[in-house]
Structure 1
Amino acid sequence: MDLLLYTFSKCFPCFPNLSSPSVTINNAKYKIIRLLGEGGFSYVYLVSKGSSNSLYALKKIRCPFGGDESFKMALKEIRNYHRFTSSKTPYIIQSIDESVVDESDGSKTIYVILPYFEQSLQDIINRNVLNNTSMAEEEVVRIFIGICRGLQAMHKYKTYGTGVEEEEDALLLPGTAGEEDEGEFTMNGGEMSEMIPFAHRDLKPANVMLPSTDGIPVLVDLGSCSKARIQVRSRQQALSLTDFAQEHCTLPYRAPELLDVATGSTIDESTDIWSLGCVLYACMYGFSPFEKLELDEGANLNLAISQCKYNIPNSGEYSEGLKSLIGKCLRLKSSERPTIDEILEDALQLSRS
């Protein structure tokens, strides 16, 4: 019996009612089925709702000190789930419900109900590596186009109204509120809109979900998503952004300008373009380009990224046009990388050929 309780406690951490673990969010009861993943103060569970047994993902975020930075970051993540609703894009995840609970010890717990996806792009890549198989070019291009459409909605995000929407993006770089690049103002039916590019900041195969074998790709994990354009005006800001990247931007897919952010530099949405090239490479060859160099030649990952050093296999399974997309994304100088519109157009041309 003790072993059974221990097993349940490992499956359902933070849920003391082991006999029938469940949680109620805004009067809707969800049954906890199993733990899907965890990291830091957050846990993700597979849950079912009501008699229909519809499946969802429940993200539970523990904020030990109530109004601290972790709580503000969690609220920012929730805003991101709603932010791109106006874009009417199916390529970015949106939350279904949320709840903030004030605990007796002064901490806060945030619950977020999200769609449940059975597999990620990383799952497919892992299977291919284990089975020594590869993804067909047509499938690679189809998935790549979907990812591009999701990034396009972020990079071309617009707000409507008379002024810039209030954000807590100063959390990214303490003391930099109001220092981001100004957006581009346009008129839409007499209503002023402002283009404020956002960047995902942690694009990788594990953050691309595929609802079914031929389903459209969905970008998930919006915890790092924030305003894309940041002017780094001091060494303190540079160090803060470097620390943020180390914590939130997965190294094999991280743009070189985020390895050691330079004072006086500008960080923008081109960091996602670099990651996009790494994701494309992983779809084709099983690993990010710099992971593969590390595996094949023992290269230092940080050094390989900072020098943009990688190899493209000489196999004939993929067209030169598809391979060229990798090189277009992986430009050491961020200013030389194409926009998401340009990359998407290239990919669409490949799909037509």
Structure 2
Amino acid sequence: MLHMGEYICGCKPLWNLWASDVRITVNGKRYLVTGLLSDRGLTMVYKVRSLQREQRGNFCIKAVHCPFGRAEHVAEAMREINNYQAFHSPYITSLLDSQIVPLEQGSKLVYMVLQYFPAGSLQQLIDTLLVEGVPLPEPRVLALMVEVCRAVRAVHQPGDEGTESGSATQSEETHLLADAMEMDILETATSSPRRSFVLCDLRPAAVMLTPQGTPIISDLSACVRSGYTLTNATRLARMRALLDAHGSPSYLAPELCALEPNACILPSVDIWSLGCICYALMYGISPFEREEQLHGTPLRQARAAGLFSFPDNPVYSLQLLEIVRQCLAVEPDARPTIDSLMSLFQDLLDDSAIGSLVLGE
């Protein structure tokens, strides 16, 4: 049912929701759209304000458009919903509600109601520092990276960072569709909640900050089971399609960009992304984007060969640069694990704090 200024169950064209005074209803709860936070093709993320008396405040609504005849799009959205429900960690955003809405001509719209973080993302922090022309102090870089590693560990080692029960709700249509769909597509976290998983698309824009500055992983759209092996052409095609839709080339590990039959998806791909994120916090750009800008080396080629460099300035310690180098080893086995990487950042942070005390800073 359509009302003036209100589009129930997403009947308004997806692309125009942010342009005017529009309301979205998810499982009977109304939200006022107040802004567009992200546009990634068929996936839009809106800032909304709840119009329910018992649920005031701002939230995010992720709207995934699934064209008619593309069942894999619905399957991917369902897998993402299941992933949010599986990880009950303070370092991973909470799914508060979800609904699958039928649209005209057989297409569907999947809504996910998520937490809103007014402090923004790591990417917004990086952009602000670039505009101000001020580098992020090394202790702040280290403190952020320790906490980001802690968040990634909650995915690589689920259950270690908290086990609170989830509060998400789903519509009856969502449950029925989940039961009917083939969910082999990369296996959801709910199928084996204590096993290790991999984010695959870890990037600054997908790491939000609380008012206290704690990093929170906000996007599980590309999250897959660790050890997922591309044993056949179907699995290989699905993984490639997933990364084409959700992957961020500047932060993707080289092995994810050249998938081959029988490839195995391992946590080391997230370690590579962490190295890129650390570099971006230091210099405002990913290492391989900078290489492309400086020397014209195509990003894909620079990434595959591990070609990057550091600016010639003494802002950051050689120890921090070495940690970044270890993360960006082209050979996955040469990268540290999430536990060892977190220890490297923490040890350097502790050393810098001791040094500051000695110098009276």
Within the alignment, does 1:199 sit opposite 2:180 as a pair?
no
Residues in 2 aligned to 1:256 and 1:112: alpha-carbon distance in whole angstroms: 31
**1:145 and 1:332, CA in 2 relative to 1: closer, same or farther beyond 3 A?**
same
- My pick for the range that moved more, 68-77 or 123-132, is 123-132
Q: Which residue matches 1:26?
A: 27
- SS of 2:250's partner is helix
In structure 1, give the amino acid aligned to 2:303: I
Q: Could you list the runs of 5+ residues in structure 1 that have no partner in the other structure? A: 161-165, 184-192
Q: Which residue does the alignment assign to 1:317? A: 315
Q: Is the 8 A contact 1:48 1:54 kept in 2?
A: yes
What do residues 48-88 of structure 1 show as CA deviations (whole Å, max 9, x unaligned)? 11357511111122223377111111111111111111xxx
Q: CA deviation at 1:265?
A: 3.4
2:230 is aligned, of 232, 244, 267, to 232
8 Å CA contact 2:121–2:205 kept in 1: the answer is: yes
Q: How much has 1:343 moved relative to structure 2?
A: 0.5
Report SS of the residue matched to 2:131.
Answer: helix
Residue identity opposite 1:68 in structure 2? A
CA distance in 2 between counterparts of 1:19 and 1:127 reads 28
- Indicate if the aligned counterparts of 1:91 and 1:218 stay in contact, CA closer than 8 A: yes
* 3-state SS, counterpart of residue 202 of structure 2: coil
Once the two structures are overlaid, the 10-residue window that deviates more, 280-289 or 214-223, is 214-223
TM-fit CA distance, 1:169: 5.7
Given candidates 169, 180, 184, the residue that maps to 1:170 is 184
Answer whether contact 1:158 1:196 (CA < 8 A) is retained. Answer: no
Residues 236 and 28 of structure 1, relative CA distance in 2, 3 Å threshold: closer
Q: 1:23 to 1:266 in 2, by over 3 A?
A: closer
1:84 equivalent to 2:82? Answer: no
SS at match of 1:253: coil
Q: Is the partner of 2:49 in helix, strand or coil?
A: strand
Distance in 2, matches of 1:220 and 1:194, equals 18
Counting only pairs closer than 5 Å after superposition, residues 234-273 of structure 1 correspond to structure 2 as: 234=232, 237-238=235-236, 240-273=238-271
**Matched residue of 2:184: which SS?**
helix
In structure 1, the partner of 2:349 is 351
Aligned residues: 318
Which stretch of structure 1 is more off in the superposition, 115-124 or 269-278? 115-124
**Per the alignment, in what secondary structure is the counterpart of residue 35 of structure 2?**
strand
Is there any run of 5+ residues in structure 2 with no aligned partner, and where?
6-11, 164-178, 352-361
Question: How far 1:37 moved relative to its partner?
Answer: 2.4
Q: Provide the rounded CA distance (Å) in 2 between the counterparts of 1:338 and 1:23.
A: 44
8 Å contact from structure 1 (residues 241, 258) kept in 2: no
Q: Who is 2:283 aligned against?
A: 285
Counterpart residue number, 1:138 = 139
Deviation at 1:314, TM superposition (A): 3.3
Q: Distance in 2 between matches of 1:35 and 1:11?
A: 14
The 5 A counterparts of 1:287-302 are 287-302=285-300
Q: Retained in 2: the 8 A contact 1:229–1:268?
A: yes
Aligned match of 2:77: 74
The AA in structure 2 aligned to 1:209 is: M
Partner of 1:45: 46
Deviations 1:72-117 (A, max 9, x none): 11111111111111xxx22111111112223454332222111112
Residue pairs, 1:40-189, within 5 angstroms:
40-50=41-51, 54-65=57-68, 68-85=71-88, 89-103=89-103, 105-118=105-118, 119-157=120-158, 170-172=184-186
Of residues 271, 274, 277, the one that matches 1:276 is 274
Q: How far did residue 150 of structure 1 move?
A: 1.0
1:25 Cα offset (Å): 2.0
C-alpha separation in 1, matches of 2:56 and 2:200: 34
> Is contact 2:222-2:243 (8 Å) kept?
no
Correspondence for 2:357: none
What percentage of aligned pairs have identical amino acids? 32
| Matching residue of 2:15 | 13
Q: CA deviation at 1:36?
A: 2.2
Q: 1:293·1:311 contact (CA, 8 Å) conserved in 2?
A: yes
